[in-house]
Amino acid sequence: MIGIVAVSHSARLGEAALELALQMVQGGGARVRVAAGAGTDADGAPVLGTDAVAVAAAIDELAADCDGVLVLMDLGSAVLSAELALELRTSDVPVRLAPAPFVEGLLAAVVSAAAGASLDVVAGEASIALAAKSGQLEDPSTEAAPIESASTDRSGAVTRTVVVRNPLGIHARPAALIAEASAGIDVRLRRLPDGTEASGASLSRLLILGARQGDRIELSALGRDAEGALDRLVALFDDGFGEGTDVDAVASGSVGAHAAEAAPESPPVRAGDVLRGRGVSSGRVAAEAVLLAAPVREPDESTVVAPGDREAEASAIEWAAVAVADQLRARTRAATGEARAILDASRLLASDPELVAEAADVVRSRGRTAARAIWETSAAHERGLAALGGRMAERAADIRDVRDRMIAEILEVEMPGVPERDEPFVLVASDLAPADTAALEGGNCVALVTQQGGPTSHTAIIARSLGIPAVVGVIGATGIPRGAVVLVDGDRGTVEIDPSSSRVTEAKAASLVVPFDGEGVLADGRRIPLLANVGGAAEAVVAAASKAQGVGLFRTEFCFLDRADAPTIEEQVDAYRGVLAAFPGQRVVVRTLDAGSDKPLPFANSDAEDNPALGVRGLRIARRAPKLLDDQLRALALAAGAESALVEVMAPMVATVDEARDFAERAREAGLETVGVMIETPSAALLASEMLEVVDFVSIGTNDLAQYALAADRLLGELGDLNDPWQPAVLRLIGQAGAAGRRWGLPVGVCGEAAADPALAAVLVGLGVTSLSMTPRALGRVAAALAGVTGEQCDAAAQAVLRAATAVDARAAAAAVLNGE
């Protein structure tokens, strides 16, 4: 803790400045002494001036329990007394005299010291305290202090977007509240869209932000309890820092008519806006947006239950746990597959005796209300999970879900959950709890959009198993106006608000699941097997029910996303058999672990990498951990031996012929006969012919092939136009691989998203592709497109796109050949 001595010529000025400063830290925690005036005159009236002895005494007093002392002075002449006090003091803690404005400096220093900052930081805060005022007055003669650099690696930071709702914006008091809520956590605030940034702990820099009512602020926090800090900050912003919120005023500035209904933590969005996130489940649909009910609010901390009432209060927790477990049990019975497993896990959590007993103890020992006790106990459990990182951290949503259900039960308020609708709708939420996502089964929800979440979140898993598009990590999602029509593109990761009616019609047509009769065949009778992409047994069952002719891509890494340790051979055999069993006697292409980049596995990718997409991912992991690959190949051979599916194995992220040869040797040694590699790098595409000298087939991963050919991160919605398989460079690379397959008479599959594009299917066939593997929902539409064209037309379309210079030209050229457009 840093102490502060305020040296003033006037006792009244010193005390008044102190009173103002202490108002900024209502929670206390600041140690401040005022050394003011030069005693009294003969009449007892205060004499203006400063007294070195009084300053030294104040320093010594603070030194007893402070790690350092900052001295602030009101007028230049006070500096002499302060300097003399340094000679007179008897203590030896570090002392710094700050050349800071007295009032602003004192405010900034007090807030920063109360947040536990070091002497350097507190002194720095005080010194730049005038910059905010200069900025407000736009005084060109006073350069604003440079804002703290944002150069720290913040890749693990969690972010939220909020709107400044109080009429006066971020002035001193809100800034102090922000600093208090950020204490001990690395929090940054960035004003959108201009990007001016401030540390949450710095009163001065927060003031320099100049944030006014209606401004959007991105909050980011790093490290332990980052989520907790953001929760506190979001609550402060939503509440207008206790100064009132004039939502209509916010809305009238720049937003549409629905703004006031939007969930508070995001700025409302307007018709025509396109929000971007991460597409985690493919498909395109357009439907009305329905926002998930507001989450349960944090129960009041200050209410203390009288000792005599605590037993009854504690028993409310037990009753709530039983009631919630019952509700979840009922929902579990109605659910199937992954949804059922997730609900069951939540039910177990609700009846977890440890959680219930700990919460009841908090009531008994500290007199917290039942609701508050559950809140606090869950927070501790949540932190424990967050500390484990990876997919365990994402399980924190399970705890929050059960917590909210129990609190709603106790407070007898509306249960959080998925609304029921008779019409198709897109569910929009900050994040989805497992029980929410599971409740979607069989309902009218046709797509999911969330503000939080990653590729392994429940939203992603459930959306994939339900076969509905989903986009997660969409900044601004909860600002989508209720009732707006949104077009969700799970492949590109975009959400268009109130798009044109032609786009809606097009998306609606695209979202219709055309039945598939189980055979991909051209008009001239040539067969093009249409296969499914799956990530586990549940998806394989869906795929088989959709009449997929086999599996063209089994993404094995999806089975183990939550594993901290490598799965055993037995566990792998079980997981693989689950998929193989769904396709007896049919082709199943199993891809070895494609860990890394957007799908890191804790047991396979230990080091942080600057460029993970270009790093040790996919087959490259075998360089470091050959046993991981050999064990997987063994497990797969065992699973293949136990099932009747025709198993083929392929490696992801192959770049050289040596890698392909090495992989083929290992796979064959493990007992797997049919071995292939994925064509995902331009190098592999250019060397496809040589690859096919050492493997039995290739399968083109157009998602990565486009990413690497165009040097455009496939996760960046902004670069969606580059990550387009219609880009001529990608088509020519596919053409190289297709030609190599024709030369050797060997299979060339496509298992990237391009395979699901009906307009591209014929082109791919013309380029030499012999099978297409896709999300099961797309099978019927691709089959229909192929059934209308002959092999000759496919070849002509391929020749036409190979001459195109742009993606637009390529599309037009194909349409001209195939549809006569």
Binding residues for ligand PEP, per CB under 6 A? Answer: 553, 555, 594, 680, 701-704, 751-752
Tokens of 456: 């392994």
Gap between the Cα atoms of 135 and 81, Å rounded: 32
Question: Is 491 among the residues that bind Mg ion (CB under 5 A)?
Answer: no
User: Sign (positive/negative) of CA torsion 306, 310, 313, 314?
Assistant: positive
Residue whose entry in the numeric block shows the structure tokens 């005080």:
126
User: Sign (positive/negative) of CA torsion 554, 732, 755, 809?
Assistant: positive
Minimum distance between the CB of residue 639 and ligand PEP, rounded to whole angstroms?
Answer: 20
Tokens of 89: 């003091």
Nearer to ligand PEP, 24 or 589 (CB): 589
Binding mask 664-703 for Mg ion (x = CB under 5 A): ----------------x--------------------x--
Largest CA distance in the chain: 116
Nearer to Mg ion, 376 or 680 (CB): 680
> Residue 217's closest CA among 267, 147, 168?
267
Provide the CB-side half-sphere exposure for 604 (13 A, CA).
Answer: 32
Nearer to ligand PEP, 682 or 752 (CB): 752
Provide the CB-side half-sphere exposure for 161 (13 A, CA).
Answer: 22
Residue 771 backbone phi and psi in degrees, to 5: -150, 155
Q: Are strands 470-472 and 278-281 parallel, antiparallel or unpaired?
A: antiparallel
Task: Please give the C-alpha separations between residue 55 and each of 30, 48, 473, 732, in angstroms, as whole numbers.
Answer: 18, 15, 54, 79
Helix, strand, coil % in the chain, rounded to nearest 5: 45, 15, 35
The stretch near Mg ion (CB under 5 A) out of 304-312, 361-369, 704-712, 769-777 is 704-712
CB 491 within 8 A of CB 726: no
Nearer to ligand PEP, 164 or 751 (CB): 751
Tokens of 352: 């977890």
Nearer to Mg ion, 404 or 557 (CB): 557
Provide the CB-side half-sphere exposure for 807 (13 A, CA).
Answer: 13
Gap between the Cα atoms of 529 and 518, Å rounded: 9
User: Sign (positive/negative) of CA torsion 79, 84, 86, 91?
Assistant: negative
Nearer to ligand PEP, 105 or 701 (CB): 701
Helices and strands (H, E) in the chain, number of each type: 32, 24
Minimum distance between the CB of residue 701 and Mg ion, rounded to whole angstroms?
Answer: 4
Give how many residues touch Mg ion by CB under 5 A.
3
> Under 8 Å CB-to-CB from 348, ≥6 apart: which residues?
none
Minimum distance between the CB of residue 680 and ligand PEP, rounded to whole angstroms?
Answer: 5
Gap between the Cα atoms of 675 and 168, Å rounded: 66
Separation of first and last alpha carbons in the chain:
75
Nearer to ligand PEP, 288 or 598 (CB): 598
Tokens of 799: 């020749």
Residue whose entry in the numeric block shows the structure tokens 């007090």:
110
Say which entry of Mg ion, ligand PEP, none residue 555 contacts (CB below 5 to 8 A, set by partner kind): ligand PEP
CB 265 within 8 A of CB 475: no
> Residue 511's closest CA among 486, 481, 489, 538?
489
Which of these is catalytic: 66, 445, 559, 751?
Answer: 751
C-beta pairs of 705-714 under 8 Å, 24+ apart in sequence = 705/679, 705/680, 705/681, 705/730, 705/733, 705/734, 705/752, 706/730, 706/752, 707/613, 708/680, 708/681, 708/682, 709/682, 709/733, 713/613, 714/598, 714/613
Question: Is 704 among the residues that bind Mg ion (CB under 5 A)?
Answer: yes
Which of these is catalytic: 66, 458, 559, 794?
Answer: 458
458 catalytically annotated: yes
Tokens of 133: 């005022």
Nearer to ligand PEP, 473 or 752 (CB): 752
> Residue 700's closest CA among 620, 755, 662, 757?
755
Nearer to ligand PEP, 182 or 775 (CB): 775
Nearer to ligand PEP, 243 or 598 (CB): 598
Tokens of 392: 């365990």
Residue numbers at the binding site for Mg ion (CB under 5 A): 680, 701, 704
The residues annotated as belonging to the active site are 458, 751
